């Protein structure tokens, strides 16, 4: 696990400078506190040849020996790799290449040898892991960029006239001077609608994310292509939806248990202390159970949770009950956060607006957990794979006859997001809408009408335009919603949140539900297998006998904080000072009468706009950092 960055110049007009690479590395130093390497190939520009530069920050998890430091070169000097992530099946790959002498005991050398021996396509398909990688082929003068199936590890890039730069985080790319930092309006609209910017886009017009499961091979003459065009024309080496089955396949509790336990076992490989995030919910409890079983000894598994004073958001007692049942070494953290100081830190590490307020507890949990271990397993992805969200069951509900109650629903949904009345209101308010529009309503931060009103009447981005084809492919709204979330919300929001918040503290977080075998298994499931007899039927049948009954009976709480209450109290001034400032981003782009209305309605408790206001505040905090960077660049 680490942070990577680099740049290539094809013709010498934009020479790759060591000082620039060092500044890029400094921006991602939090991702790798165990060492830094800067490499130029060749060290000095050579006429007619590209110059490739790498910056690497190491978090030593496998093989901490200095010989495993990156960038790593193949024995013949042809290939050079920088790689962020972990390959869990690297020992299996090693066995497929007998007769070699290995200099290290980690995964990087094996990954590099596999790419050289088998080529890109075969190697990527064989990998079980999370990764973002860059490989320079000195013979062919090509650069390979690739990202794991679900986008657990980030990779951003920007192209110019004869150059390309890439990095694990947007902050590092801000040290590469050869790009225009203009804002992408469509990305801004997507952010308002859903709270994040979906790959391949970023908030910047000239910077792209490599989409999950995508590879890109860059050659001389292609680097001048616009960033988004280049990303969209890159090839998908993995398609999550390609194996959608035509018929229902029987699934047993034993099969479910085996595929998940195998994934957890494979991700326990580590040369540093390892633990498990435990909320006491279904997914994290299953991961903790599987880890405890694989470790075999009571107390050998460490588990960690975070608690809050507000009982509506505190799951710590449930986590402690599961930990006691399993016999893990458990710690509950109760922090007194400095929210006003933490929010700018989060805005900086994301590098663009990110509107999911659960980043705050993820940040605090990671910060405290890192004091005890270097690696943590999480239950992220279980909801999107096994049908854990209320919106899936809402899509399955026959609510057409409730259309006359839609107006009542719109009044009820204005309340506190944790209340049953509010949840019922959301369901009723969507009665009479098409399946696609219902789904959009369930996942939207700002609905299309409110977002358009905010943006002076301009139409806004609609992510659900690709929902209808999934209805046809998967045969029903529930299956289509699961597939859509796995392709959008999971990588764009949840996995992005976990990566940035954990790596801000140099904590590696692994998600066993993202294992290729678990993904393939979940992709074959249908509504009856997910919901018959209650939510997450297969997980309940597979693990209920080995976990406390409360794990499967209690209402899902979600990993949240009382941000709405804070905006009426300790964060009231912070919100107003940024969003309503004379120089705010909002004043340059939005209808301020709408912004002021949202704040007033929320403070007076007439409506709960907590998540919308959080998104607007994080937009402003990102813009404040962006403005400082731009001023510093001119000085």
332 has which bridge partners?
305
Q: Which two tokens stand for residue 389?
A: 């969200």
Name the 3-class secondary structure at 147. Answer: strand
Convert 5-38 to b/e letters by CB count within 10 Å (16 or more is b). bbbbbbbbebebeeebbebbbbbbebbbebebbb
User: 354 near 329, Cβ under 8 Å?
Assistant: no
Task: Measure the CA–CA gap between 113 and 123, rounded to whole angstroms.
Answer: 10
HSE-up of residue 237 (Cα within 13 Å, Cβ side): 24
User: 571 near 427, Cβ under 8 Å?
Assistant: no
Tally of residues, the chain: 635
User: 551 near 539, Cβ under 8 Å?
Assistant: no
Q: Is 501 a catalytic residue?
A: no
Task: Measure the CA–CA gap between 59 and 77, rounded to whole angstroms.
Answer: 25
Q: Which two tokens stand for residue 93?
A: 């790959």
Task: Measure the CA–CA gap between 579 and 598, rounded to whole angstroms.
Answer: 11
Q: Which two tokens stand for residue 62?
A: 């496998």
Of all helices (H) and strands (E), which one includes residue 432? none
Name the 3-class secondary structure at 144. Answer: strand
Identify whether 200 is preceded by a cis peptide bond (ω within 30 of 0).
yes
HSE-up of residue 335 (Cα within 13 Å, Cβ side): 18
Give the helix, strand, coil percentages of the chain, each rounded to 5. 45, 15, 40
> Residues near 75 by Cβ (< 8 Å), separated by ≥ 6?
none
HSE-up of residue 147 (Cα within 13 Å, Cβ side): 28
Task: Measure the CA–CA gap between 571 and 567, rounded to whole angstroms.
Answer: 5
The DSSP code for 210 is P
Task: Measure the CA–CA gap between 265 and 258, rounded to whole angstroms.
Answer: 10
Catalytic residue among 1, 2, 443, 483: 2
User: 154 near 496, Cβ under 8 Å?
Assistant: yes
Phi and psi (nearest 5°) for 402?
-90, 10
Q: Please identify every residue annotated as catalytic.
A: 2
């Amino acid at each position: 696990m680490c942070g990577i960055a680099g740049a290539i110049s094809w013709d010498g007009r934009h020479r790759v400078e060591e000082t620039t690479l060092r500044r890029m590395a400094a921006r991602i130093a939090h991702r790798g506190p165990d060492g830094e390497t800067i490499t130029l190939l060749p060290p000095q520009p050579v006429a007619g040849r590209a110059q490739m530069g790498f910056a690497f920050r190491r978090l030593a998890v496998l093989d901490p020996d200095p010989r495993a430091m990156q960038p790593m070169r193949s024995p013949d000097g042809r290939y050079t790799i920088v790689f962020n992530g972990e390959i869990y099946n690297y020992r299996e790959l090693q066995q497929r290449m007998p007769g070699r002498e290995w200099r290290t005991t980690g995964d990087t050398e094996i990954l590099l040898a596999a790419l050289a021996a088998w080529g890109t396509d075969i190697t990527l398909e064989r990998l079980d892991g999370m990764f973002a990688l860059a490989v320079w082929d000195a013979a062919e003068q090509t650069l390979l960029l690739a990202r794991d199936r679900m986008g657990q590890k980030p990779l951003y890039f920007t192209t110019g006239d004869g150059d390309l730069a890439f990095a694990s985080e947007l902050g590092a790319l801000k040290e590469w001077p050869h790009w225009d930092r203009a804002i992408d309006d469509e990305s801004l609209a997507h952010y308002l609608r859903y709270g994040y910017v979906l790959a391949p886009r970023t908030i910047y017009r000239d910077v792209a994310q490599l989409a999950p499961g995508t590879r890109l091979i860059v050659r001389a003459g292609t680097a001048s292509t616009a960033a988004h065009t280049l990303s969209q024309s890159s090839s998908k080496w993995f398609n999550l939806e390609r194996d959608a089955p035509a018929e229902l396949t029987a699934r047993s509790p034993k099969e479910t248990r085996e595929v998940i336990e195998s994934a957890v076992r494979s991700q326990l490989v580590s040369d540093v202390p390892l633990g498990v995030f435990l909320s006491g919910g279904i997914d994290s409890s299953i991961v903790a159970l599987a880890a405890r079983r694989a470790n075999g000894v009571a107390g050998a598994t460490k588990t960690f949770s975070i608690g809050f004073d507000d009982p509506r958001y505190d799951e710590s007692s449930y986590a402690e009950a599961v930990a006691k049942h399993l016999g893990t070494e458990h710690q509950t953290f109760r922090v007194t956060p400095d929210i006003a100081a933490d929010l700018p830190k989060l805005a900086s590490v994301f590098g663009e607006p990110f509107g999911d307020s659960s980043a705050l507890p993820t940040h605090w949990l990671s910060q405290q957990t890192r004091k005890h271990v270097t690696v943590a397993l999480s239950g992220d992805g279980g909801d999107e794979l096994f049908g854990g969200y209320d919106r899936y069951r809402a899509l399955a509900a026959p609510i057409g006859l409730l259309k006359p109650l839609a107006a009542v629903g719109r009044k009820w949904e204005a309340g506190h997001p944790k209340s049953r009345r509010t949840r019922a209101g959301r369901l009723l308010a969507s009665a009479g809408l098409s399946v696609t529009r219902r789904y959009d309503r369930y996942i939207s931060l700002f609905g299309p009408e409110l977002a358009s009103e905010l943006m002076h009447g301009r139409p806004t981005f609609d992510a659900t335009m690709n929902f209808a084809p999934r209805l046809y492919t998967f045969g029903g709204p529930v299956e289509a919603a699961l597939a859509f979330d796995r392709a959008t919300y999971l990588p764009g929001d949840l996995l992005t949140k976990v990566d940035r918040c954990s790596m801000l503290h140099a904590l590696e977080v692994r998600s066993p539900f993202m294992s290729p075998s678990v993904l393939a298994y979940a992709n074959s499931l249908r509504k009856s297998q997910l919901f018959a007899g209650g939510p997450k039927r297969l997980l309940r049948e597979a693990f209920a006998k080995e976990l406390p009954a409360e794990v499967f009976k209690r209402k899902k709480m979600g990993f949240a904080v009382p941000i709405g209450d804070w905006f009426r109290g300790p964060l009231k001034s912070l919100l107003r000072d940024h969003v309503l400032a004379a120089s705010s981003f909002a004043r340059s782009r939005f209808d301020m009468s709408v912004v002021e209305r949202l704040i007033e309605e929320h403070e007076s408790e007439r409506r709960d706009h907590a998540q919308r206001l959080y998104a607007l505040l994080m937009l402003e905090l990102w813009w404040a950092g962006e403005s400082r960077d731009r001023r510093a660049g001119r000085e």
